[in-house]
Amino acid sequence: KQEVTQIPAALSVPEGENLVLNCSFTDSAIYNLQWFRQDPGKGLTSLLLIQSSQREQTSGRLNASLDKSSGRSTLYIAASQPGDSATYLCAVGTNDMRFGAGTRLTVKP
Amino acid sequence: GAGVSQSPSNKVTEKGKDVELRCDPISGHTALYWYRQSLGQGLEFLIYFQGNSAPDKSGLPSDRFSAERTGGSVSTLTIQRTQQEDSAVYLCASSPSSYNEQFFGPGTRLTVL
C-alpha cells in the first residue's frame, strides 16, 4: 500500500526566506505527483502537477521536483510571503491519489 | 470559469439517517473523484468515475456508501444509516481526463450526531 510522508509537519519562517518542503512515497509505480495548498476551512488548490516522465515543474515562485527512483519530491518556495501561509499537501498515484498529512507553513511578516 | 461546486456546504444529521452529497464538476471534465478528510485519517480516496462508470470503488469504506454519476456530469455520494465515524469533510474533484490534474471543490462538512 502506498505510504506518503511529508516532512516537516510544521514550519515557521520569516518573510522573504526561501524554503523547501519534502514529500516521500514508498511505491514508485506512480503516474502523477501533485502539490496542493489548503487554507483553513477551505478545499484544496492545485499548485503543480508532475507526471511520472517529468522531473520538475515551475509556476511563479514555486518549483517542484520529482525523483521516482528514490521516491521523493520537493516543493521549493522562493521569497516566501505571508500569503503563502497554508497547509501544503502532496499526493501521488494514478487516479486514486494518496495524500500525505501535509506541512503547515507559517510565514511571519 | 466556474470551478467544482459541492452542496450542501454543511450537513448535520442524526445517527441512522441517510444523506446525499452532491458534486458539480468543471464543465467538460470527464473524470470525477470523491475523497474524505477527517482528523484521524487525513485525506482518503473513496471512488473515481470516468464518464458515468466507476472503474475504482476500492476506497468506499463500507456497503453503506454508494455513488453515482449521471450524464457524465453531476455526481451524488450517498451514505446510508450514517454513523458518528462518518463525520468528516467530503471533497469532490474533477479532471479533464483520467490520469490528469485534479481540481477540488470546497467540500461538504458532514456532522453525524
Tens of pLDDT, residues A37-67: 999 888 899 999 999 899 999 999 999 999 9
What pLDDT does A42 receive?
87
Rounded-to-integer distance, Cα B112 and Cα A47, Å: 32
Distance from CA of B18 to the nearest CA of A (A): 24
Decide if pLDDT at A19 tops 80.
yes
Q: Residue A76 class from Cβ within 10 Å (0-12 exposed, 13-18 middle, 19+ buried)?
A: middle
Nearest to A43 among B44, B101, B104 (CB): B104
Nearest to B103 among A42, A46, A102 (CB): A46
Contact state of B45 with A101 under an 8 Å Cβ cutoff: no
Confidence of residue A106 (pLDDT cuts 50, 70, 90): very high
Distance from CA of A100 to the nearest CA of B (A): 8
What pLDDT does A30 receive?
85
Mutate to test the interface with A, among B21, B32, B43 (most CBs of A within 10 A): B43
Task: Name the β-bridge partners of B20.
Answer: B78
What pLDDT does B2 receive?
86
What pLDDT does B1 receive?
57
- Pick out chain B residues at pLDDT < 70: 1
Distance from CA of B105 to the nearest CA of A (A): 6
C-alpha closest to that of A31 among B98, B83, B106 = B98
Task: Name the β-bridge partners of A12.
Answer: A106
Contact state of A96 with B56 under an 8 Å Cβ cutoff: yes
